Amino acid sequence: MSTLLKNATIIDASSPYHQQKKDILISDGKIEKIEDSIQQKKNYTVVNVDNLHVSCGWFDTSVSLGEPGFEERETIKNGLQVAAKSGFTTIAVNSNTNPIIDSKSDVEFLINKAQNSAVKLYPIAALTINSEGVDMAELYDMQQSGAVAFGDYNKPIENDNLMKVALLYAQNFDGLVLSFPKNNKIAGEGIANEGINSTKLGLKGIPALAEHIQIARDIFLLEYTGGKLHIPTISSAKSVELIKDAKKKGLKVTCSVAAHHLVLTDNELHGFDSNFKTNPPLRTKDDIKVLQKGVKSGVIDIITSDHNPIDIEHKKVEFSEAKDGVIGLETVFGALNSVLDLEDFINCITTKPKEIFGIENYSIKEGNIADVTLFDPNSDVTFTKEHILSTSKNSPFINKKLKGNVYGIFANNQLILK
């Protein structure tokens, strides 16, 4: 099987063809030729679309799929199709399931369910048993079975000593520990960013301080223990400063930001639409400016969708009762393409996250495995419910203008187009 990508602008800083328009011939899952023009043959599958751009395959480090336990939200099979048609060749799946992914057999279940898919699935196993924050799970066994990191999804580790021990223990096998940035005692029963809007709307506030205190604690612990720490989905300006200072000290700390925190503010809450209820909450315009600068400067390592499907019974209810979470795979590119440089975006969704999570990144060169994303950065679209591929429809970008269009992927010797 051969696939020919015609007139593709290559966006890959590690490739000798970076920023060049080329034809790319893929045969048996590998890049056979990259030339100015390659003659079409009858047995070729040809992709010849408007303004085709090609980059290394995108990697989303925070995806929830529901299965096992919440299949009504999203199954693994459908979630992998959504990821592929949204441009992702690789996803890391959270232990946001029932049962929680906290054992060797749970990790193997996820991996086996994704066998033969175009999209590679890597489990992020729970750090603690049942994500209860009490007893550490069998991290080494889960890593041996294929887990790439360990963290309790959207749940902070409140026990300081437990986090200390986890950072120490994980060093024995070069494990990556995730710590969700939230102090529950400070956050209390808050459901929105503490500020002008939460006061106007009568919503209980979560101060950004809840995020800062947890990050500061984790940085102090990391300085004491050593090891590797990843802080997922930061949302405030001060958090960027804290992580920047920690990196200057030489600590092995990395962080991610969710796409919605780079473009949406708590002004969206005035309609009490629960699709804007997130964890961490949407913050302010000033926070967004600093977060975007953090991406451009390299302080923020990773951009993620933080894709978290929630069924209508738990989302289309009173704002205070609705579950946190939004779907985001379909909208990451379109939402950020107008506010970030294309190369900054690509770097934070390919090279850097793969390096942090220990996953190989295949540069676009002759002889390499073909693992690429196909897209057009220039088209405009108003995102509607009809564009949603996920089973759940809890998107904060419905009826918003997005820039760019994803055509699909070529990965694992499979071409998947929208």
Any idea which residue has 């009826």 for tokens? 399
What is residue 31's DSSP assignment?
E
Q: What are the tokens at 120?
A: 């590679």
* Residue 25, beta-bridge partner list: 4, 33
Angle at CA of residue 121, ends 120 and 127, nearest 5°: 150
Q: Is 152 a catalytic residue?
A: no
Catalytic residue among 102, 306, 371, 376: 306
Residue 242, amino acid: L
Interatomic CA distance for residues 133 and 112, integer angstroms: 27
Q: Which residues, other chains included, contact 65 with Cβ-Cβ below 8 Å and sequence gap of 6+?
A: 73, 74, 75, 76, 79, 93, 97, 309
Residue 374 contacts residue 407 (beta carbons within 8 Å): yes
Q: Are strands 44-47 and 2-11 parallel, antiparallel or unpaired?
A: parallel
Measured distance CA(52)–CA(42) in Å, rounded: 22
The CA-based angle 56-61-67, given to 5 degrees, is 115
Characterise 161 by phi-psi region: left (phi > 0), alpha (psi -120 to 50), beta (else): alpha
Element housing 402 (H / E): strand 401-411
Asked if 39 and 23 count as a contact pair (C-beta separation under 8 A), the reply is no
For the annotated catalytic residues, the residue numbers are 306
